[in-house]
Amino acid sequence: MINILGIGPGDLNLMSIKSKEIIEKSNILIGGTRNLKPFKNLNKELFYIKSSMKEVLDFINLNLNKEIAILASGDPMLYGIGKYLSENLDCEINIVSGISSMQYIFSKLKISMNDIYISSTHNKRPDFDFLLQHKKIVMVTDKEVGPYQIAREIEKRNLRRKMIIGENLSYEDEKITILNSNEVKDIEYNLNVVVILDE
């Protein structure tokens, strides 16, 4: 059985009991370095996801007779690897949802998620004209289009927005910064989620 498990934003206390049970029963764990680190002392075969998803597919197809757990940050179906794997694997798949970093930051902020627009900058440049029509936005970002670049797009349109930058959410070095868009500096932001609110 191929299991794609959402293991939450980082703190393993936020991972579901179901995901923990499946990890215990699995022969092979697949994931990024950060996702596999807490499980490296278990008696499991570990396969690290590098840059090529084809390598991951090939490895899974060679081991279909084993119990495999693929560990995904947050929720596998919310800008995660769940969509890609479910579309490209021709076998039975079980997907277990997890708490996303987006859900996590809204809970920390005590702000409702009912009316948010969800987006991502991973491997793409958003349509900021469309995006900034929304009053409440949450985005997972990357090094190419991060908090600073988003702030510049806001300023370019002569808009003012409040930006909440969550870094390393749920980890010991978690940091949540609330700024006006014109105050966002051109610095490195780690593993971040950005919330944009209409002032």
**pLDDT band at 177, cuts 50/70/90?**
very high
Say what the pLDDT of residue 143 is: 84
Say what the pLDDT of residue 125 is: 86
Indicate if 110 and 54 belong to the same structural domain. Answer: no
Indicate if 135 and 162 belong to the same structural domain. Answer: yes
Indicate if 10 and 55 belong to the same structural domain. Answer: yes
pLDDT tops 80 at residue 199 = no
Indicate if 94 and 117 belong to the same structural domain. Answer: no
pLDDT tops 80 at residue 71 = yes
pLDDT tops 80 at residue 80 = yes
Indicate if 118 and 152 belong to the same structural domain. Answer: yes
User: What mean pLDDT is reported for the chain?
Assistant: 94
**pLDDT band at 58, cuts 50/70/90?**
very high
Please tell me the pTM assigned to this model: 0.90
Indicate if 92 and 116 belong to the same structural domain. Answer: no
Average pLDDT for 80-106: 95
Can you give the three-state secondary structure of the chain, one letter per residue?
CEEEEECECCCHHHCCHHHHHHHHHCCEEEECHHHHHHHCCCCCEEEECCCCHHHHHHHHHHCCCCCEEEEECECCCCCCCHHHHHHHCCCCEEEECCCCHHHHHHHHHCCCCCCCEEEECCCCCCCHHHHCCCCEEEEECCCCCCHHHHHHHHHHCCCCEEEEEEECCCCCCCEEEEEEHHHCCCCCCCCEEEEEEEC
Q: Are the beta carbons of 53 and 60 closer than 8 angstroms?
A: no
Number of domains comprising the chain: 2
For tokens 């499991």, name the residue: 44
pLDDT tops 90 at residue 108 = yes
Q: Which residue among 78, 99, 120 closes a domain?
A: 99
First-last CA distance in the chain: 48
Indicate if 71 and 90 belong to the same structural domain. Answer: yes
Q: Which residue among 71, 99, 127 closes a domain?
A: 99
Q: Which domain holds residue 36?
A: 2-99
pLDDT tops 90 at residue 106 = yes
Pairing of the two strands 136-140 and 192-198:
antiparallel
Residue 87 belongs to a domain with what CATH number?
Answer: 3.40.1010.10
pLDDT tops 80 at residue 55 = yes
Say what the pLDDT of residue 52 is: 87
Say what the pLDDT of residue 179 is: 96
pLDDT tops 90 at residue 142 = no
Report pLDDT digits (tens) over 5-49. Answer: 999 999 999 999 999 999 999 999 999 999 999 999 999 999 999
Indicate if 78 and 147 belong to the same structural domain. Answer: no
Residue 134 belongs to a domain with what CATH number?
Answer: 3.30.950.10
Indicate if 29 and 116 belong to the same structural domain. Answer: no
Average pLDDT for 138-158: 94
